[in-house]
Amino acid sequence: MKTIIRASHLQKYFPVKKKHPFALGKTYVKANKDISIDIFEGETLGIVGESGCGKSTFGRTIIQLQPQTGGSTLYYGDTIEHFMPSYVKKVYQKLPKVLPHLDEYRENIERLESQLADKSSRPDQKGRDNLRQAKIAFEQTYGNTLRLLGGLVLYSNHQELSQKLLSIYELQALIIKEQQRGDEPDKAQVADLSKRIQSHQAKLMPLKKDLEEMKAAVQAHPDFHTYEAYVDAGIDLSALKNQESRVLRKDLQIIFQDPYSSLDPRLTVGDIIGEGLLIHRFFTNKQDPAYKTYIVDIMEKCGLKASFIDRYPHQFSGGQRQRIGIARALALKPKFIVCDEAVSALDVSIQSQIIHLLQELREELNLTYLFITHDLGVVKFISNRIGVMYFGHLVELASTEEIFDHPIHPYTRKLLNAIPTMGDEADWQIDEAYEAFRFNYDREEDGDPDWVEVSPNHFVKCTLTK
């Protein structure tokens, strides 16, 4: 399956204000701690867990509504060659400055990992913090460099490599600019635009050939394949400028948990739903006859009457406001939607309607959902896979059937055991399922260090004992 979002070692920490100005050090609320997950195109990934475990923060951070503290979040719904973000140019410009110190960063991480591995008793909290900081520094300095260059980082003439890559970047940026200008050109301009694009492409070909020769020159290096494994075509969402993020915002939408504060009280329902349509030029203006027809169609699909289009949010109930938020997100036909308790404010009959609507749209438009909820019945019905979160950690990940039929992590078992039943079923036992694992999921610690595949596509966070 094609990956659309990949989070690697994602962390989101909120600094806590010092009680007095002379307090030493910094303390943080660690909302998300080292989360790594691939979200596949066309699937619904459910995220469950108790209140305060970091589910909503994870949903907001993965689409960069809140900047992440560490790690990387890559988006595969577009390509770097087509989008050409500005951070690529910055990476190429800094190569002569950062590449000479690459080995130092790697050796420091390896040293800290070795020290931590030698601790056979209680986990070394200070050592883990040092390793976490080192990995954050490495990702910030070299993450995009390695993803863009791979084994090319071993090329000895850093200045020549930088200039060659910058020349390729400038030509590719010109081609994209010309192609965008050619979306709606006058007929007389078509031939001229085509000639300019062909000219840029002709200049690009020898530069790419030179780059291939540079890579061939370092392929015999013992570390070549190690660095080449970092190559990744994903767009780093955390490195984008505000304007670039706005361009991708139509692809990455969210349905907020609070239907009261998420709607502008000064706008009508029609303006709330249509604002994004105008910003992203689905329609040129409100006078377009298809503009209102499109909005009414989305409203009716979400259970809102067409006559509500000129009303304001304060005139609706909580459930109706939530439907407005759903309609606003769906209107832009996004590729990825974070559904943060999207149906929690709705009554049972409307819940069923909205869930079926989300499923129909997923199949029709190939949408991908990150479905955050407390309702285990809903998540079982709508999700393809389920991730279980506990105090900032993703502690178990598997298909829906596997999670409900064969839960491994003790917290997952406790969570499922909390589902009300009509009978006198005995509580699930939370003994360790495998002798090779033990579980340390104390909320005060950083949690278990190992992410283990206990069966095909079934992962659990634990501590290996063998």
For the cut 90, the answer to whether the pLDDT of residue 115 exceeds it is no
More confident residue, 21 or 65: 65
Contact 207, 175 (CB under 8 A): no
CA distances from 55 to 94, 340, 397 (A): 36, 8, 14
More confident residue, 120 or 370: 370
For the cut 60, the answer to whether the pLDDT of residue 428 exceeds it is no
> What is the pLDDT averaged over residues 406-424?
82
Calculate helix-pair angle for 269-279, 289-301, nearest 10 degrees. Answer: 120
For the cut 70, the answer to whether the pLDDT of residue 215 exceeds it is yes
CA distance 136 to 9: 9
Contact 233, 244 (CB under 8 A): no
> What is the pLDDT averaged over residues 402-411?
92
Lowest-pLDDT choice from 45-54, 133-142, 338-347, 430-439: 430-439
Mean pLDDT of the chain: 87
Calculate helix-pair angle for 318-331, 348-365, nearest 10 degrees. Answer: 0
Lowest-pLDDT choice from 50-59, 173-182, 412-421: 173-182
Q: Could you identify the residue written with the tokens 């955050």?
A: 372
pLDDT for 466 equals 63
Sign of the four-CA dihedral 183, 187, 188, 193 = positive
> What is the pLDDT averaged over residues 178-188?
62
Task: Indicate the pairing of strand 235-236 with strand 450-455.
Answer: unpaired
CATH 3.40.50.300 domain span(s) along the chain: 3-79+244-382
Nearest to 59 by CA among 264, 334, 333, 342: 342
For residue 464, the SS3 value is strand
Domain covering 3-79+244-382 assigned CATH 3.40.430.10 in the classification: no
Question: Which of 82-86, 109-113, 307-311, 357-361 is predicted most confidently?
Answer: 307-311
pLDDT for 352 equals 84
Question: What does DSSP assign to residue 333?
Answer: -
Question: On the CB side of 110, how many CA atoms lie within 13 Å of its CA?
Answer: 6
CA distance 331 to 347: 23
pLDDT for 190 equals 67
Residue 153 exposed, middle or buried by CB count within 10 Å (0-12, 13-18, 19+): buried
Residue 41 exposed, middle or buried by CB count within 10 Å (0-12, 13-18, 19+): middle
pLDDT for 187 equals 60
pLDDT band at 433 (very low <50, low <70, confident <90, very high): low
Nearest to 54 by CA among 103, 120, 7: 7
- Give the burial string for 318-329 (b: 16+ CB within 10 Å, else e): ebbbbbbbbbbb
pTM to 2 decimal places: 0.88
Nearest to 229 by CA among 146, 163, 160, 153: 146
Task: Indicate the pairing of strand 70-75 with strand 368-372.
Answer: unpaired
Nearest to 241 by CA among 29, 10, 30, 67: 67
Query: For residue 447, what are its two tokens?
Result: 């949690």
Return the HEC string of 27-71.
Answer: CEEEEEEEEEEEEECCCEEEEECCCCCCHHHHHHHHCCCCCCCEE
Contact 255, 324 (CB under 8 A): no
pLDDT for 424 equals 56
Lowest-pLDDT choice from 75-79, 346-350, 393-397: 346-350
pLDDT for 186 equals 61
pLDDT for 5 equals 96
CA distance 215 to 286: 53
Sign of the four-CA dihedral 397, 398, 403, 407 = negative
For residue 237, the SS3 value is helix
pLDDT for 423 equals 60
For the chain, give the percent of residues with pLDDT over 70. 91
Question: What does DSSP assign to residue 341?
Answer: S
For the cut 70, the answer to whether the pLDDT of residue 426 exceeds it is no
CA distances from 34 to 102, 183, 382, 391 (A): 23, 42, 26, 11
Nearest to 376 by CA among 328, 429, 420, 317: 420
For the cut 80, the answer to whether the pLDDT of residue 180 exceeds it is no
pLDDT for 448 equals 83
pLDDT for 319 equals 82
More confident residue, 1 or 334: 334
Task: Give the length of the chain.
Answer: 466
pLDDT for 218 equals 94
pLDDT tens, residue by residue, 247-297:
899 999 999 988 888 899 999 999 999 999 999 989 989 999 899 999 999
Query: For residue 432, what are its two tokens?
Result: 């360790």
Contact 28, 13 (CB under 8 A): yes
For the chain, give the percent of residues with pLDDT over 90. 54
For the cut 60, the answer to whether the pLDDT of residue 425 exceeds it is no
Query: Which residues sit opposite 453 in a β-bridge?
Result: 459
pLDDT tens, residue by residue, 364-383:
888 999 999 988 989 999 99
Residue 455 exposed, middle or buried by CB count within 10 Å (0-12, 13-18, 19+): exposed
pLDDT for 199 equals 84
For the cut 70, the answer to whether the pLDDT of residue 51 exceeds it is yes
Contact 58, 12 (CB under 8 A): yes
